[in-house]
Structure formats: structure tokens, C-alpha cells
Amino acid sequence: MEQATDLSQKVCLVTGSSRGLGRALSLEFARLGARLVINSRQSSADALADTERQIRALGAQVLSIVADVSLRADVERLAGEALARFGGVDVLVNNASALGPTPMPYLTDYPIDDFELVMRTNLIAPFMLSRALLGQMLARNSGSIINLSSDAGVVGYPTWGAYGVSKAALDQLTRTWAAELEDTGVRINSVDPGDMNTAMKRLSEPDADPSQWPDPETRLPVFVYLASDQSIGVSGQRFSAAEFKPERLPG
């Protein structure tokens, strides 16, 4: 298991890393020896700087890039700066997600501009960034792409329309790309992190007691597995972070 959790010298790019799951993932990857590329929008730049400080305190190398992944030019810049700094990216976690307007409206009343923004952030951005980094992964016959899924992409919850549609499409993107990348050494999977005590979850259910939800740090083992060499050959799968049991893995 020591080898399975060794990310030494791997370059991991985590979008939406200023807080919540993205921050928790970035810090865990840093603890395991990875070099980090972290990202947030301008509105979260201060929180991103705090994540960077925490990573540096762990002794890890880190590149912090403010970019809006819903914008094509920003995605291209994010990928370009990451490759220029580290020469390659081994692990991409497409974590950044947009919930949409709150209170969350029914689809009948959903503003079209907001619907488009959710799709650009949750679906088109992972496609663009994965595509931008895929060439260098294919050249090395190695790489892991991890997309963030949701049970809202499986079950039709009222008011979760745009978010759920984007996640359902992202799951299908993951499966299709995995089929196209078969035998290349590059793997792509999706993870449903489940309910977590994050700003997005609290925003989606403002009247709920947040203490009922686990912290993001409890959801990390499946991401570490997929980032590590232990998951070589595993592709096109949808994992539940809440149900993942490392001890059940073969070997």
C-alpha cells in the first residue's frame, strides 16, 4: 500500500482548489510528495493564496494560477503555464464546479445565461482542459484524469436540473473518452464525492444543519487511489467516494 499512496514527483493539477474538496485534495497530494498546480477564479484569489501557503509549508512545490475555467482563453493559459513550469501534468482533477443561481430554480424558470455558465464550468471546462493536457499524457503513455460526478447526475432531483444535467453529461464524456483511450496508458474516471460540508453544499441547502455532512477530508482515499500508480489500467469507471474501501482492492 505504500507504493499505492506514493505520489512522489507526480504533477497534479486540481481546479477549484481554493477551498472545500479542491483544497483538501491539493494538501493531501502535497503530503504524498506531489508537485501541485492549483487554481481558482479571481474572486477566490485570497483563499487560493492561503492554499498555496499551506502547500509550501508541507515542503511541496506549487504553482498557483488564477483562471476562470469557464473561459477558453483561461483554460488554455492554465494548461500552458502548468506545462511550461513542470514540463508535464500526470494527474488532472477537474474539480471546479458551478451550482447555478440560488435559490435553485426549476428548469422552466432557469435563466438561460446561468444554464450556459453551469454547462461551461461543469462540462465544457473539463473537456477543454483534459484535451489541452492529453497530448503530453499520450506521448508518455501515462496519465490520470479524474472528473467530479454527482448523484444529481443519476437521479432527477427537482431544482438540480442544470447541475444534474452537466454531471450526467460529464459521466458520459468520461465513459466515451475512456473507450477512445483504451490501450494508450491514459486513464479517465469519475468520482461522486457524496454530500460534504462545503460552501456549495451549504448554499444548496441553506436551511439544513451542516454538521450532518462529513468534511471533504473524509472523501480523499478514492482520489489518492486514482492519482496513484495502483489504478493503472482502471478507466471508464464511476466511483463513490463514500463507499470506496481501499482494503477491498486486489493485491
Beta strands in the chain (DSSP E): 11-14, 35-40, 62-66, 91-94, 143-148, 186-192, 238-240
User: pTM for this structure?
Assistant: 0.92
pLDDT of residue 156: 83
The answer to whether position 162 is within a domain reads yes
Give the domain extent around 212. 11-246
Per-residue pLDDT of the chain (251 residues; tens, 9 = 90+): 344 478 998 999 999 999 899 999 999 999 999 999 999 998 889 999 999 999 999 999 999 999 999 999 999 999 999 999 999 999 999 999 998 898 889 999 999 999 999 999 999 999 999 999 999 999 999 999 999 999 877 888 898 889 999 999 999 999 999 999 999 999 999 999 976 556 665 666 666 666 766 788 888 999 999 999 999 999 999 999 989 987 667 54
pLDDT of residue 4: 45
The answer to whether position 2 is within a domain reads no
Q: In what order do the strands lie in the sheet with 91-94?
A: 62-66, 35-40, 11-14, 91-94, 143-148, 186-192, 238-240
Residues designated catalytic: 163
Measured CA to CA, the distance from residue 241 to residue 250 in angstroms comes to 18
96: left (phi over 0), alpha (psi -120 to 50) or beta: beta
Distance of CA 195 to the CA centre of its chain: 15
CB 94 within 8 A of CB 191: no
Measured CA to CA, the distance from residue 159 to residue 142 in angstroms comes to 39
Measured in Å, how far apart are the chain's first and last C-alpha atoms?
9
Kindly report the number of other CB atoms within 10 A of residue 49's CB atom: 15
The answer to whether position 3 is within a domain reads no
The answer to whether position 5 is within a domain reads no
The answer to whether position 61 is within a domain reads yes
CATH code of the domain covering residue 163: 3.40.50.720
The answer to whether position 42 is within a domain reads yes
The answer to whether position 96 is within a domain reads yes
Domain count, the chain: 1
SS3 66: strand
Kindly report the number of other CB atoms within 10 A of residue 1's CB atom: 11
The answer to whether position 4 is within a domain reads no
